[in-house]
Structure 1
Amino acid sequence: MTVLEELTLTAPLPLPSDEPVELQVKVAGPDAGGRRTVVFHARPRTPGYDGPWNRHASGILAPQELPEPAVAPAPWPPAGAVPLPLDARPGEDFYDRLAHGGLRYGPAFQGLQAAWQLGNDILAEVGLPEEEHSNAGRFTLHPALLDSALHTMMLPGAAPAPDDSAGGLSLPFAWSQVRLHASGARRLRVRLSPTAENGARLELTDGSGAPVATVRSLVLRPLPREQLKGVRAHGDCLFRQDWIRLPDSLDAAPVPRVWGLVGEPGPALRGTVLPPGDRPKAYADPASAGADAPDVVIACPPLTETEGMDRASAAHRMAGWALRLVQDWLAEERLSNSRLVVLTSGAVVTGAEAAASAANDDAALVCAPVWGLLRSAQTENPGRFALVDVDDTPASGAALAQVTASREPQTAVREGVVHVPTLVHASRTTADEGPSRRVDPGGTVLITGGPGSLGASFARHLVVAHGMRHLLLVGRRGADTPGAAELRAELAGLGAEVTVAACDVADRTALAALLATVPREHPLTAVVHTAGVLDDGVIAALTPERMDRVLRPKADAALALHELTRDSDLAVFALFSSVAGVFGSGGQGNYAAANSFLDALAQHRRSIGLPATSLVWGPWQQNGGMTAELASADLRRMARSGLVPLRTDEGLALFDTAVESGDAVLVAARLNPQVRGTADAPLSRLPGPGPVRRTPAGPEAGDSLRRRLAGTQSGDHGALLLSEVRTEAAAALGYTEGQSAIEADRPLAELGLDSLAAVELRNRLATVTGLVLPATLLFDHPTPCAVAAHLEERFSDTAPKTLPAPNVTPANATGGAPERAAEPGGADSLSALFRKACALGKAWDGMALLTIASRFREVFDSTDTLRTPPAAVNVATGPARPRLICFPALSALSGPHEYARFGLSLQGLRDVWVLPNPGFLQREALPATLEAFVSAQAAAALACSGDEPFVLLGRSAGGWVAQAVAEHLERAGVRPSAVVLVDTFAGDSVSGAEDGPALSAMTVGMLDKAAQFASAETDRLTAMTGYLDRFSGWEPSELSAPTLLVRARGRPARHRSGGAVESAALGSHRPGRPLQRP
């Protein structure tokens, strides 16, 4: 017989209701006495998660030959046994008591049926529910039956008694001499006898008294309630961001030689000491610094501009400043080898010593969006930006030069000591101010975004798990939110009184009126702010309006809630933040800015003695709310960065643990440590338990590729580069099968390349090649072959006839950026002059310059003379008809990538084609006339239609193209099924006059984004103005095909007159009249 000689349970194993758990049992070989060690590990079986195995138990198996216990029939229960009540309180049975203490058992495990006390012994009967009887034979001893037998140890009077002194429960810890005698039992009689050393002997028999199992000794161990909740909440998913001291090796980094300063010096520069003899040269803006290209340029938030502003307005102002600064920096190609350091003072809280000052200093709140935005900029553009926060001590000012030389992406200097951020498990840290107090079930809980999917999940949880009976669910649409009525009825059925209200929480007046409706007999006890919106886009694509649109429902609303409830006796003030603000998230700069504000607000509230918890959520699995807007490409990108989606039950449990922890900010996310350890994972900047120094690629980054190129014939360079491009494209687009999934001549847009993926792929190629590559690389060269050819040309332009030996000079000796290859765009180039015009506030003059230049470009005057028409790009395929044929906008950065996400959403449903506009790529001709252009696009559209029904669709000025092509086709006797105009100005004419509505509005919009376009190559800039020149004076004609206009309700701010647009249902149209949809 094999005996379990000993078994130690080191950690409880949570079993989720909706996801399996992987178990790993390792049994070692026998020792000289035949004994074997056994170890039990487990981890969640979550798709995409490859995290560590957690040890839960270890023991020793030993061979023993012992006689079987004798069977002595005896009455049951024995004479003198006193029944023990299982309902400790009226209406609360034994398992209700355990659940109240945090230990919830499922139906199969609620097997304790009766209990008695006989002297010091506890007797009991346990059994399986009927639905589990068929499974009893599958086990030697059914786990639920054994577990139910152990519940006798938690009965009043059991020895040893459960230790509730820590506010928790006592659970089995150490077993010795466990023997099994029979199998297949469905019911058991249990006898629990106390032993020395706080243990107990356990005898399990069947109904006849025959032995089933014996345990010589079982010892319990108290498990505090907080630790138990941490187990239930998957403690490996809850982290704190700490700031730890950077090693002294910082002194060895070479100090930058040339410094610059953009804008006004802020308070953070007081007392700053730069290298002897080097005072930073002042520049008005990044474009002015381009000529000198300093190694490091410092910029300080202009806090003086926020004087007299309320906090919300000040935060918006600083976010807008940071956005303009980053966009201008990226647009100035001459700064590609330079590094921008954004220097703040008191903007981050590094420890308890700094928290005390947060109460009287708004810098952390006002500058928080700056940090969030810059973190995303760092993710999109590795090595280009740094964030440094200093205090006002002389030692910190003296350390700035060395801090900048370290090339750490984020640092905080306190009294001359440099700190960097890291993540640590929350269970290993001490909360800021101790556990929060419990919410009053009789009070009211306000949940913003309550009628939505995420808010609804927490509303149910608060009612079911916390007994809340009064909920105020707030949303922009209130009771009109889809599903709101059903949710209210569901919660009412659970005994809750629910009010669903429509309110713009960011509107202080409206919020104050709403709070006044909370009844005095049920005062506000908790606020849960889940509301928010997404408006994703890479940094270059963001606008002040898109920034404000995301900031308002997150930051402004949170601030209004804080200010209007600060005198309320709240137990919970929970803010739903995002890892975008802590880690930086590519394509979510505005969202990162908004969530960073929430984190700072929570720290501010804690510093003045108010409750607050900012939960920095990772992605969730649930399909609803903002999660529903994530495409599969977004989810794959998250997985590659080390983020694994949380299940709903995990999120709810993490919420409970976080709000009771006393911490101001906690990261609630499942992180894949194997992914975070890779160099290109954004989360590698914030590992646990210690920091990983992440240095951007330097001049040596492309050395490996250079070696391989040097070792091959020149005729083979193209094939080698193409292989690299396809490999990196597969990684950026999430194709696990590798480069075999990337066809060499297929446009990357057809494979799912959107703006964010283009940034990621550009960064990957820059790292591999060591070259500085433009932001428009994948738009200018849309296929892997074209990209590879461009890279080969770049290498040949800068390399001597034999490629140079690898650079072994220490990285960052002069700023640490990749080697800059020669390319167009020097100080006297057309694009540089346009940038200069924009920098001087003369963007209109710059556009005029580009327009004149466009008239000197090569042109085609008919389809026959268009030598190489742009290839149509197929972004989706499917059986439904009509086909969609799309036209990109006419801006400098336009192209088929605009429809990448649109195509992904229709993949498998219908064919979607995109027709690029000729002239935007190198060596492409522009149309000589508008008619030549429209005729060429009409021919391309017919080729894509394949003689089947089709719809023409255009976005922005691409709507003009769709309209003009439709007119051309109808004159030729071909009628499209419909024309769809997305965000296209609906004026009646396109005039070049100053007051001409459409062209003027379009041009104003382009000028507002001049910083984005300035990074484009000359061909793109002149194509943009060339097409505006062609469309000048064009007027749309009435179509027989139905026309749908899809746009926001507002018109361009400077042009709100003109244009006949009527509101109508999608199916109610007039031929040739545009329709408006909100």
Structure 2
Amino acid sequence: LRVSHAFHSHLMDPMLADFRAVAAELTYAEPQLPVVSNLTGALAATELTDPDYWVRHVREAVRFADGITTLHTAGATTFLELGPDAALTPMIEGILTDEVTVVPSLRRGHDEHRQALTALARLHVTGTTVDWTSLLPQTTRTVDLPTYPFQRQRYWLAAPSTADLSGFGQVATGHPLLGAKVSVPDEDLLVLTGRISLPGQPWLADHDLHGRVVFPGTGLLDLALHAGAQVGCDRLVELTAETPLVLTDAAVTVRVVVGPPDEHGARPVGVHTRGADEELPWTRHATGVLAPGGPTPPPPPATWPPPGAVRADVEDVHRGLLRHGYGYGPSFQGLRAVWRRGSELFAEVSLPEGVTADGHETHPALLDAALHPHRLDDAAGPVQPSVWRDVTRHAVAPATLRVHLVPVGGGVTLTATDADGRPVLTVGHLESRLVGADELAAVTGSGDESLLRLDWVPAPEVAPDVAPATWAVLGEDPFGVVPDAPAHPDLAALLAAVDAGAPEPAYVLHAPTNPAGQGPEAVRALLTDLLGTLRDWLAQSRLPRTRLVLLTQGAVGAGELPADPVLAPVWGLVRAAQSEQPGRLVLVDTDGS
């Protein structure tokens, strides 16, 4: 809504008397349907017919969360938002932790007709009766559904429940990455265990550093805070990150171990992982100290954003992070607004659609997005949190946060609140460090990786007593591979030379080269030309023993060298042809050395 005044605030005071006079002139009637009042958060009785109620409604706070909770308590499990955008949908999902269906009728920027039909379809498949006859044209022919009922049975195994785990001596933790916990007798230890993988947690694939998927440092903090909540420690005195966790499609087992308390109640905590093979050693990623009784959070700003804060462009932040070497995907692009006031930063972050905060103390993607404006002020290159100090969890984080960042002593302090200013998380001091590509490459091999990998193997030299193969060139030889071989402009010229008495070559070299340009048009032009060459070659039968050698340069990435985006599709096209005509085509790539 584009309005001149903030509803429900003191700015409405000057108009309340006139509003009361107009409201008193209206005629009221009891509602025909139950109405939950946003003024009281409960079912309305007779107050809706009182003009003073509507005066209070203009001035007093909106008890939206209480109203949603009242509806859910009364049995409501499906919520349909009617409005021009999905503004309330994420709020409802953040309020209710049980399984509920929340459907927006419209979304800003989406086709209204398609979005409305999508909303009705989702309501239908989740158990709400939809009157399709009032929606479909009267001329539409309808077909009766089968007479047998839909069985609605899941094909996938459900996650073990608390009761299931108890049979193995474990208790469910409710955390998405830490499925179970078990206590160790006599030593007062608590061990939390789980599995992390990209197929299991696809949102993690959006945390990309130097082209590798790295478990975020905010994720280590989330694991430690959740472990502390299990033993009554809401404060993390310190957490030091040690070894980065580089993720692949293979799952890793994670263990969070909480040690016995000292005389002050403080407990050591460590985060470890290893691959699926039980013979592999454990890798320690972080160690720290948990303690009870965190400090009182500072009061939130009286206004948001605070006076004097100048709004910055969020897209500028995203572009700057890309230049610094961050490859954040959609799940980690939760920064919605940012302001600067001197060296201070103020930010609003929200979890993107499809990523839920359920079970996390503070969702790693949400907290990581809160740090994005500060990371632009760091040294050039990706950084990761290295040391967290004096971290206190005041409440389980919702899907939206307001964050205040203050640079202090080479690091930053952080205060996070919900949209109403209630404290969620405070960080006394956070230090970060640069993460290099070599460091990530060194730790990648420590986990359980796929057995398939790409290696560059030197080509064997031809023995002196072996006669060299006969070559011909189709087009040009830009790399000078076979300088003495006869060159032919096209396949017709080559076949004509063979008909005229030239020897039948064992190999014919063709080198697709990157034309000028790097866009889609360059790719299309190169592949169209190559496709014609391949079709002509495979259609002719006059050179049955001759192999066509396709030579590229830089089409396959080697080491730190990225693949040429224009030439890389050449390998896909030729490999498809090789599968149809085995033995007739050879692919070779060179790095130019």
The two structures have a TM-score, normalised by structure 1, of: 0.24
Question: Greater share of helix residues, 1 or 2?
Answer: 1
Q: Which has the larger radius of gyration?
A: 1
